[in-house]
Each structure stands twice: as C-alpha cells, then as structure tokens.
Amino acid sequence: MRRSAVAGTWYAGTAVALRRQIEDCFMHGLGPGLLPGGPRSTKRRVLGLVSPHAGYMFSGPVASHGYLKLASEPRPHTVVIVGPNHSGLGADVAVSREDRWQTPLGDVEVDAAAAGAVVSGSHWAEWDDLAHAREHSAELQLPFLQYIYGEGFQVVVIAMLVQNLEVSQDVGKAIAASLKGKDGLVVASSDFSHYEVRSVARRKDNLAIEAILSLEPRRLAEAVVKHDISMCGPGPVMAMLTACKELGATSAELLRYATSGDITGDAQVVGYASVVVSA
C-alpha cells in the first residue's frame, strides 16, 4: 500500500478535518458555492479533467469546480491520474505498482489490469514506485475523488518525468487502450504559471488554456515553449488530451481559473485551472 505522503501538510491529516476542508473548498468564494448533491445525469460525458495540485488552502477552491462537475455525472469504474514528477526520482514515466493508495478518507484500490495495460502498451511507461514515494501531484486528487465517489472506483497512478509531446502522446494512447471497454476517466494534475507577476501569469496561462480547449496536444506543447509558460504538468495534460480524443472527446470547457495571489494577495503567483474534456 502506498501511504499518504502529504496528509497533514498539503491537506488535512484526519478524515473529519479533511472532509471539512474539502467542503470549505466547495463553499469558498473562489469555489462553486455549493456542495456536490449526487448525479443529476444518467450518462457520463466527461472523459478528462485538468485539476491543480497545490495545497488545498491555495488551489482547492479551483479544484472543487472540476469535482463538482464530475459529481453531477455517474461514477466511473477506473480513474487514471497522471501527474508530473517533481522530485526527479524514478522512471521517465512511472506507473505505480502498489495495490492500494491511502489517504485519511480510506484506501483506494488500484486497477491492476488497466495499469498493466498502460505499461505493456507504452514505449515509455514502466513499473516504478520510487517516483511516487513522496510525489504529491496525483495524491492531491485522491481525497476529492473519494469525497465525491465514495469507495466504488479504482485508480491507475502515473508520474511523468519526461513530458515532451512524443512521450505524452505515447502515454495517452496507452491510457486510451487500457480504458477501452471500461468506464474510465483521465485526470491530469497540473498547475500553470509559477511565480510570475499576476498579469503575466494570467496572460501566459490563457494561452495554455486556449490550447487545451482546442483539444490539440501539439498546440499546447508549442505554446509552452514559445511563450515560456512555467506549467509543471504539460505532459500529463497532453497525455490526457490524447487519451480523451482516442476515446471520443469532442469539446473542452474552462470551469475556473484563479491564482494563488487571489488567496494570499501576493504579487508573484501560481496559476490554477479546472478544465473538463467531454464527449
């Protein structure tokens, strides 16, 4: 079992406090202002999500917009979470081999068959748990998923150290193949500009978001390089877009954008966005 690495720091460390913190994110002024009330749709259209991964006190309200949208549709069987590797440890593309991932809200079972299909179907992905040992980017998504879905879902967790277009598309195609015949969802964990002046961050991040809304991974890769966008997870987002297009995605929607400066008042900010990709 992969035990929580950042409970008690990046998010609350007990089940009671964590549920309260997540609910505060939904009700925050930068959040949607309401709590999930269960599925209102009988069919799930959302195939992918871009969600931030800073501490919940900073990015949780923005993240809650995406999870409110997910909660309005039926629960998927398998959620593939793809995040960047911040530590530099482990494989270029690391798929967790642990049986379960733990948070204060309980354990989430890994879909071993889907994880194995990603490893066998990708030229780059390999089994590696070192990359996940202290990595927070995927872990930050789990409590939100547990809050809206309960226990009835499984995960595949991937950390990307190499994030160029070639590798991202390779991983995305392997993810899509692993979800064929399954009821699946792909979550790309990424923040946007890092420690830029707020006006510069917003301008650059809008360019990245426009590329994501086009559903074109190559356009995002080009925008990040051309405009020097210090986005930490372009690879996971490009992998998610590739997978979702293979699975029939036709549209994307920006639900919320904000920066850490909207919380702290700081001049140097980190950008956060929730974007859904749908069929």
The answer as to whether 4 is a domain residue is no
Count: domains in the chain: 1
Q: Which domain holds residue 46?
A: 15-278
CATH number at residue 211: 3.40.830.10
Instruction: List Cβ neighbours of 210 (8 Å cut-off, separation of 6 or more).
Output: 223
pLDDT along the chain (279 residues), means of 10: 97 98 98 90 95 98 98 97 98 98 98 98 98 98 98 97 98 97 96 98 98 98 98 98 98 98 97 98
Question: Within 13 A of 146's CA, how many CA atoms are on the CB side?
Answer: 18
Please state, in angstroms and as integers, the Cα–Cα distance from residue 33 to each residue in 26, 56, 75, 83, 130, following that order: 6, 16, 22, 27, 38
Identify whether the C-beta of residue 241 lies closer than 8 Å to the C-beta of residue 277. Answer: yes
**85 domain residue, yes or no:** yes
What pLDDT, on the 0 to 100 scale, is given for residue 87? Answer: 96
**268, part of any domain:** yes
Contact between 1 and 100 (Cβ < 8 Å): yes
User: Looking at the domain assignment, is residue 10 inside a domain?
Assistant: no
Does residue 80 sit within a domain? yes
